[in-house]
Amino acid sequence: MNNELLAQIEKKYKELYGGKPLLIRAPGRINLIGEHTDYNDGFVLPCAVSPAIYFAAEKRGDTKVCLNSYDYGSYCEFDVKQKDRPREQWASYLYGITQIIQEKGYKISGFNCVFGGDVPVGAGMSSSAALESGLCLAISELFSLNLDKMEMAKIGQKSEHEYVGVKCGIMDQFASIFGKDGNCVRLDCRSLDYEYSKLDLKDCIFVLTDTKVKHSLASSEYNTRREECATGVKALQKKYPGIKALRDATVEQLQSVIGEISDTVYNRCKYVIEEDNRVIEACNALNNNDLTRFGQLLYLSHNGLSKLYEVSCKELDFLVDQTKKMDYILGSRMMGGGFGGCTLSLIKADKLEEYKATILPLYVEKFQHECKFYAATAENGTAVI
Ligand code: GLA
């Protein structure tokens, strides 16, 4: 919890509107393994993290929604019934949440809101999901809607689909809402059953290394990957009608339709099928305290993301390659949608400073700008403070 930031948000709110606002913390997320599996009905293994977005909000007496982004120093207002989207890019997610909640039949009216956070934007920690989850809970609380957690995750995802144009899976919103202190959570993205496991990393920690790049391909390529997976499923279904999603397929089945699909589609599907299996294996490795195997699975995941799914980039590949020379790193991979953002590495805790001191000059020499480091721990999900 960033108490200082929370105090600033609350202070800003009181300066603008007075009153006694509701306060909410909505965290970003990391994903240990299971990338691009969520929209293929597969498995993911995320945690909520300590960087978060903080909200101060209170009902108004009218139907106006007044949103203040503390970080951008920007303001946006709209009527709850307004059909035109606000022009501000950052407000589209939030406008979307207010619309979707109403489409579901819930009655809301106007409110004031100030929000700001320390989730780095573009680093792949899902600041957008934090924004969606936090606002959803704020509205639920202000208007006593009693939205259940999974419903809120789905509202956030829908807002991303319809108001941002990224056909994302459910992982980010789920993780931001369901995160639990000290635990990772395995989600079955088909049944939406989930299971918490205590994260016991012994003498290791997770470190994020932020490439500080976000290639503009990210959202268009994301949607293309989804379509490629769907193409693969169609070809598989002709021969195996029981297959509903890549989650149901095996690599052998995929090989048997090799003549029906392009090399690209084959590679995309192979990656997803293998990654799903890796999530299961990674959970077993964690339960058996086998961090060595868990680390190897991170490297295998990266290899697939880079070579078969082709969502990595030279900065991410460079960082992962460098860690292979460091015996105090057990595994590393790119995290999230790809084309920039962070790598996630499992590292001996007492070697963190050595790692940073080694990587930073190498990275600067190669790319002429710095990378950034964050230690990642598992924290609680979106909640009223
Ligand atoms: C983005 C999406 C998620 C998920 C990841 C990749 O973060 O929002 O739904 O697909 O990419 O695993």
Yes or no: say if 155 and 100 are a contact pair by the CB < 8 Å rule.
Answer: yes
Ligand 1 and 46: CB distance under 6 A: no
User: pTM, whole model, 2 decimals?
Assistant: 0.96
Name 68's Cβ contacts closer than 8 Å, sequence gap at least 6: 12, 16, 74, 75, 112, 113, 114, 115
Other beta carbons within 10 Å of 101: 24
pLDDT digits (tens, 9 = 90+) for 204-248: 999 999 999 987 777 789 999 999 999 999 999 999 999 999 999
Ligand 1 and 339: CB distance under 6 A: no
172 as an active site residue: the answer is yes
The C-alpha atoms of residue 369 and residue 363 are separated, in whole angstroms, by 7
Per-residue pLDDT of the chain (385 residues; tens, 9 = 90+): 999 999 999 999 999 999 999 999 999 999 999 999 999 999 999 999 999 999 999 999 999 999 999 999 999 999 999 999 998 888 998 999 999 999 999 999 999 999 999 998 888 899 999 999 999 999 999 999 999 999 999 999 999 999 988 899 999 999 999 999 999 999 999 999 999 999 999 999 999 999 999 877 777 899 999 999 999 999 999 999 999 999 999 999 999 999 999 999 999 999 999 999 999 999 999 999 999 999 999 999 999 999 999 999 999 999 999 999 999 999 999 999 999 999 999 999 999 999 999 999 999 999 999 999 998 999 999 999 9
CA angle 311/315/316 to nearest 5° reads 50
Ligand 1 and 169: CB distance under 6 A: yes
Of 41, 172, 276, 317, the catalytic one is 172
Counts for the chain of helices (H) and strands (E), in that order: 11, 13
CATH of 3-199, one of 3.40.50.2000, 3.90.230.10, 3.30.230.10, 2.40.160.10: 3.30.230.10
